[in-house]
Amino acid sequence: MAVLLQAASRESLAAAAERLDAIVDSSSAADLETLGDELFAVTRLVVTQKPLRTHLSDPSVPQDARIGLIRQVLGGQVGEKTLDVVSGVVGSRWSRSLDLVEALETVARRATLAVAEKDGTLDEVEDQLFRFGRILDREPELTALLADTTQPEERRTALLDGVLGGRVSPVTAALLRQTVRIPRGRHLDVAAEELSELAAARRDRYVARVSTAVALSDEQERRLADTLTRIYGRPMSLQIELDESLLGGLVVEVGGEVIDGSVAGRLAAAGRHLPS
């Protein structure tokens, strides 16, 4: 189960995700792989250094001071894109210090999943993460061994690599390794399920759900996909559903954002502006 965040932390996490998505859309797979690795390294640093974590999440410390400190700590060790993402996270307001950790790990996971977005393997990664979660659910002894922080990190990741046996994608392996490195007291089967759900959410960024009153021609579908690709800055695929109640036009939903260009939608909007 994902951590439940209070309002301030939810808003800060949403802002961090938006900043990351802007970077994802303009970056190569290789750049995103580096970004994900560096963000996970920062997450491990903040997890293990409690005084640093406390200071970075303290709302009484001025924003510039928090950002200045993390830039000083990380200077010369990570790339500018990583510094920008981390600075945005550190400069935001968090209800608890552990929410800061949650945010850093979440953007690290998103950046790593974005590698699969770029190379077209996100469906595969989602399925592999789900299946591995089910394996862990059936094998409590293996789950306990992978989460045993009394054992060296290298031994736990070596065990994981032996279980995976090179049969999963590099993105899946990277995400699971990082989870084993930073278990944070979580059950690993639950963590794998969370990763699978996050992969599904990332995949939704590339799907436009289109409701239309009449069937679209192949040429209309192509033009619509091209238009949405230009708007969102990433390739988009269409899931089209006929809905005669729209009367005409289209309703397009991408990642929770709705564009209502239907006749029914325009009539409803006009009705709201009529004098009562």
Structure tokens at 157: 């990741």
The arithmetic mean of pLDDT across residues 149-178, rounded, is 95
Widest Cα–Cα separation across the chain: 71
- The per-residue pLDDT for 265 is 61
Where are the domains positioned within the chain?
1-119, 120-204, 207-272
Helix and strand element counts for the chain (H, E)? 13, 4
Distance CA 23, CA 187 (A): 31
**What value does the mean pLDDT of the chain take?**
89
**Which carries the bigger pLDDT value, residue 255 or residue 173?**
173
Judged by phi (left if over 0) then psi (alpha if -120 to 50, else beta), residue 15 lies in alpha
The arithmetic mean of pLDDT across residues 14-39, rounded, is 94
pLDDT band at 1 (very low <50, low <70, confident <90, very high): very low
- The per-residue pLDDT for 273 is 53
Q: Which of 126-135, 156-165, 206-215 has the lowest mean pLDDT?
A: 206-215
- In terms of average pLDDT, the best of 4-13, 31-40, 131-140, 230-239 is 31-40
> What angle separates helix 97-119 from helix 7-25, to the nearest 10 degrees?
30
